[in-house]
Structure 1
Amino acid sequence: MIDSMLILIAAAFLLAGFIKGVIGLGLPTVSMGLLALTMAPGQAIAIVIVPAIVTNIWQTFGGPYLRDIMRRLWPLIVGTVIGIWLNGGLLTGPYAAYGTVILGVLLVIYAIVGLCKFSFKVAQRDEKWIGGIVGLVTGVISAATGVQVIPSMPFMQAIGMQKDELVQALGVFFTVATVALAFNITAAGLLTAATALPGAVAMAASFAGMFIGQAVRTRMQPDVFRRWFLIAMIFLGLYLAVGGFLKIHG
């Protein structure tokens, strides 16, 4: 039983790390989506949290834009931390059962936004206050599902960050948000010694997947891979949302 679960965790993080290596993001989103097929989101995020923090720290210091990123994104970051802190009981409270449904819906939205390549801009004078609101919404969503890509990533794209700066900005933002989430799940009793072995397996598989993905990225078209990845996320999200809803109301 334990061995089969560890194999599932290793496979999920190997795939998630591979995707992150190819397109620069997706480790928490993919791993949470896959693990949620067999466990509650609260249990899944306890396994995801450490690999997510470490891989995002790796990404944070992979470029020269850190000072400019902090200057532009601090309202988004602060808002997200506040949103996570204010809603710390969502993973274990009376509405925790809806976490799988919400996660499924978010995966579908995330994939559709990516496929449609919605293009909208946020004026520089409006970055701060809009960033704070987007951060609060992202924090609430993250507290319930462990996923932080909606609506934070579309916002970062909308303020005009270039490719390399955006990749580093995602690393900075996800590092801070994931650390804040780690305090939540620790306080809720979800992050315990029992998660150490699954977390270690997840960490090793994540880095193995990232290295493979980075090697493959030089030999394939990332846009083609990203398109099929997003299509797969739609089907996974629909499966989680419908399955979770039927489980609650069945």
Structure 2
Amino acid sequence: MDQTTLLTFIAATFVLAGFVKGVIGLGLPTIAVGVLGVVMAPAQAAALLVIPNLVTNSWQLAGPKLKAIAIRLWPMLAGTCVGTWAGAGLLEKAKDGSATLWLGIALVLYALVGLKAAKLRVPEKTEIWLGPLVGVITGAATAATGVFVLPAVPYLQALGFDKDELVQALGLSFIVSTIALSFGLVGAGALDLKVAGASLLALLPALAGMWFGQAIRQRISAATFKLCFFAGLLALGGYLVVRTLL
């Protein structure tokens, strides 16, 4: 693949990933790491995502309830950092794709449950111990796959946030996860100034896709958003499974 084709492929990937994130609040790293894995190592793809992840998730934070959400989620976020740092280097070592396969399978199962309208709920009194546990497991999974999804996304969805609060909560969680993962990537040598410059360039197509996706989200109902959310998870999970097996 020549340089021009490669750059076009990367730009198109970030437009698509940004669009999905704009609609359902997540999917940027899942799609980008998965698609870019065709032309580069997972650790390189994750490094390229650092700045787009930070900026698009910061954009996603806008809303009046951010402080309350941060106070509620801090136990999970602390656990995420611990799990990610404990698993530092797993992404660089993961060559057989097994972690990504199991992540995809779990996403598919969770999406199918959600599409059947099963309502998961986390009792408020359990959050103080369940949050850190979810965070540690999610952090370890993020360190192994470069994707922050499980079990944090089902946990956040089960907290009873409305659609805009859920998007804010996801954005905050992704920012913390990205920062934690960045330290591991730097330590593994996958993230340096040259890669950071390329990551900055990748921000433009990601923002373009996200802007369009958000415009659509603002025009759909809560029920439609829920359908899009779980359908998006199903598609992402199915994609990860197929990509790993092929």
Q: Quote the offset at 1:147 in angstroms.
A: 0.9
Task: Quickly say closer, same or farther: Cα 1:21–1:45, change in 2 above 3 A.
Answer: same
Give the root-mean-square deviation of aligned CA atoms.
2.0
Match of 2:48 in 1: 47
**Separation of aligned partners in 2, 1:189 and 1:143:** 14
Give 5+ residue unaligned stretches, structure 2.
none
Determine helix, strand or coil for the equivalent of 2:90: coil
Q: Quote the offset at 1:224 in angstroms.
A: 5.9
Cα deviation per residue 1:67-113 (whole Å; 9 max; x = unaligned)? 211221111000000011111121223xx213x33223313322331
Match of 2:112 in 1: 115
Cα deviation per residue 1:5-57 (whole Å; 9 max; x = unaligned)? 21111111100111112222211111112112332211110111110111111
Q: Quote the offset at 1:185 in angstroms.
A: 0.4
Moved more, 5-14 or 193-202: 193-202
Q: Is residue 238 from structure 1 mapped to residue 241 from structure 2 by the alignment?
A: yes
**Separation of aligned partners in 2, 1:227 and 1:73:** 22
The amino acid across from 1:198 in the alignment is A
**Separation of aligned partners in 2, 1:222 and 1:161:** 13
Cα deviation per residue 1:155-188 (whole Å; 9 max; x = unaligned)? 1122222222111111111111111111110111
**Separation of aligned partners in 2, 1:147 and 1:104:** 12
**Separation of aligned partners in 1, 2:230 and 2:140:** 28
Task: Quickly say closer, same or farther: Cα 1:4–1:174, change in 2 above 3 A.
Answer: same
Whether the 8 Å contact between 1:32 and 1:146 is mirrored in structure 2 is yes
**Separation of aligned partners in 1, 2:126 and 2:217:** 36
Cα deviation per residue 1:186-245 (whole Å; 9 max; x = unaligned)? 1111012332453233211100101222234456755565565445324422222213xx
Match of 2:58 in 1: 57
Match of 2:28 in 1: 27
Moved more, 197-206 or 2-11: 197-206
Whether the 8 Å contact between 1:80 and 1:137 is mirrored in structure 2 is yes
Q: Is residue 103 from structure 1 mapped to residue 100 from structure 2 by the alignment?
A: yes
Q: Quote the offset at 1:120 in angstroms.
A: 1.9
Whether the 8 Å contact between 1:36 and 1:240 is mirrored in structure 2 is no
**Separation of aligned partners in 2, 1:111 and 1:52:** 23
Task: Quickly say closer, same or farther: Cα 1:215–1:121, change in 2 above 3 A.
Answer: closer
Task: Quickly say closer, same or farther: Cα 1:8–1:101, change in 2 above 3 A.
Answer: farther
Give 5+ residue unaligned stretches, structure 1.
244-250
Moved more, 193-202 or 5-14: 193-202
Q: Quote the offset at 1:116 in angstroms.
A: 2.4
Task: Quickly say closer, same or farther: Cα 1:223–1:3, change in 2 above 3 A.
Answer: same
Moved more, 214-223 or 5-14: 214-223
Determine helix, strand or coil for the equivalent of 1:91: helix
Q: Is residue 14 from structure 1 mapped to residue 12 from structure 2 by the alignment?
A: no
**How high is the TM-score relative to the length of structure 2?**
0.88
Task: Quickly say closer, same or farther: Cα 1:241–1:138, change in 2 above 3 A.
Answer: same
Match of 2:215 in 1: 215
Determine helix, strand or coil for the equivalent of 1:92: helix
Match of 1:137 in 2: 137
Whether the 8 Å contact between 1:108 and 1:233 is mirrored in structure 2 is no
Give the percent of matched residue pairs that are identical in Structure 1 and Structure 2.
42
**How high is the TM-score relative to the length of structure 1?**
0.87
Match of 2:150 in 1: 150
Moved more, 123-132 or 198-207: 198-207
Match of 1:246 in 2: none
What pairs up with 1:122-201 in 2 under 5 angstroms?
122-201=122-201
Cα deviation per residue 1:96-152 (whole Å; 9 max; x = unaligned)? 213x33223313322331232042221111101001100000010001111111000
